[in-house]
Amino acid sequence: MLTVNHDGVSVESDLAGGLLECPGCRGRLRPWGWARERLIRHGTGAGRFLLRHRPRRGRCAGCAATHVLLEAGLAARRADTAAVIAAAVEAKTAAGHGHRRIASWLGRPASTVRGWLRAFAASAVPIAEVFTALAHRDGADAAGLWPAPEPTPAGRALAAVTAYASVLAERFAVAALPWHSAGLAAAGPFFFSTGRWHGGVQHELALTPEIRGGKGEGSTG
Ligand SMILES: [Zn+2]
């Protein structure tokens, strides 16, 4: 599974043009049907709604593995959009709210929200390390992007991913990039899963995540 642009048209043209890379062997992915349809919960509170998503699938011309191409707004194995999960993480990390309060605000089961928060907290140390390194590597003047030091690992993780999102937004000349989009673009669809950060999911960090329709610039940019 890999994270791709949310614009289906650009994904099609990238697939057709052999521009998408196999996360296993870096071979070229070719169109290979569609993955199983999934029903995803969008929005929060009274603004909740369900949408069907049917991700494209690609097959590697090199190793023949097939990969689900998940759009950047969705996280692997989650029935809610990345924006909703991110809102829960922010409410916990920045505002200190408990999972029950967050769950009732979002209109989601408390156990689901607790699972998201635990996964993020359990992955916070490696997330902070990786995204701090990415922000320093890719940010020409990243110093100005860093907020005050955060007291908790989850706070440091959130700050690091947010700083990297600022670096990417500047680089791709977009007004703002949500931190969860930067997280998914760089770390892949399992960004919100503990397995991603503790050896369970192999996925190389994208060197130049695609933020808009076009391909990224050179990795050493
Ligand atoms: Zn491959």
The whole-angstrom separation of Cα 163 and Cα 165 is: 5
Q: At residue 217, does pLDDT exceed 50? A: no
Span from the CA of 29 to the centroid of ligand 1 (angstroms):
8
Check: CB of residue 186 under 8 Å from CB of residue 205. yes
Span from the CA of 67 to the centroid of ligand 1 (angstroms):
9
- Give pLDDT tens digits for 15-47: 999 999 998 899 999 999 999 999 999 999 999
Average pLDDT of the residues in 64-79: 93
3-state secondary structure of 67: strand
Range in 3-12, 174-183, 195-204 the model is least confident about: 195-204
Question: By percentage, how much of the chain surpasses pLDDT 90?
Answer: 67
DSSP for 85-106, written as a single string = HHHHHHHHHTT---HHHHHHHH
Span from the CA of 32 to the centroid of ligand 1 (angstroms):
13
Span from the CA of 69 to the centroid of ligand 1 (angstroms):
14
Average pLDDT of the residues in 194-202: 77
Quote the pLDDT of residue 202. Answer: 54
Count of other CB atoms within 10 angstroms of residue 39? 9
Instruction: Give the contacts of 109 (CB within 8 A, at least 6 positions apart).
Output: 103
- Give pLDDT tens digits for 104-144: 999 999 999 999 999 999 999 999 999 999 998 888 665 66
Band (200; pLDDT cuts 50, 70, 90): low
Name the residue with higher pLDDT: 177 or 101.
Answer: 101
Q: Which residue has the tokens 């999934």?
A: 38
Instruction: Give the contacts of 199 (CB within 8 A, at least 6 positions apart).
Output: none
Span from the CA of 206 to the centroid of ligand 1 (angstroms):
15
Span from the CA of 150 to the centroid of ligand 1 (angstroms):
39
Quote the pLDDT of residue 151. Answer: 84
Span from the CA of 205 to the centroid of ligand 1 (angstroms):
16
Question: By percentage, how much of the chain surpasses pLDDT 70?
Answer: 86
Band (220; pLDDT cuts 50, 70, 90): very low
Count of other CB atoms within 10 angstroms of residue 46? 6
Which tokens hold the place of 76?
A: 């692997």
Residues across the chain: 221
3-state secondary structure of 221: coil
Span from the CA of 166 to the centroid of ligand 1 (angstroms):
31
Which tokens hold the place of 133?
A: 């390194």
Span from the CA of 139 to the centroid of ligand 1 (angstroms):
30
Every domain of the chain and the residues it spans: 1-71, 81-207
Span from the CA of 39 to the centroid of ligand 1 (angstroms):
28
Span from the CA of 123 to the centroid of ligand 1 (angstroms):
27
Q: At residue 182, does pLDDT exceed 90? A: yes
Phi, then psi, of 41 in degrees rounded to 5? -85, 125
Phi, then psi, of 77 in degrees rounded to 5? 55, 30
Span from the CA of 59 to the centroid of ligand 1 (angstroms):
8
Average pLDDT, the chain: 87
The DSSP element (H or E) to which 34 belongs, if any, is strand 29-34
Handedness of CA 176, 181, 187, 192 (dihedral sign): positive
Quote the pLDDT of residue 206. Answer: 53
Span from the CA of 189 to the centroid of ligand 1 (angstroms):
17
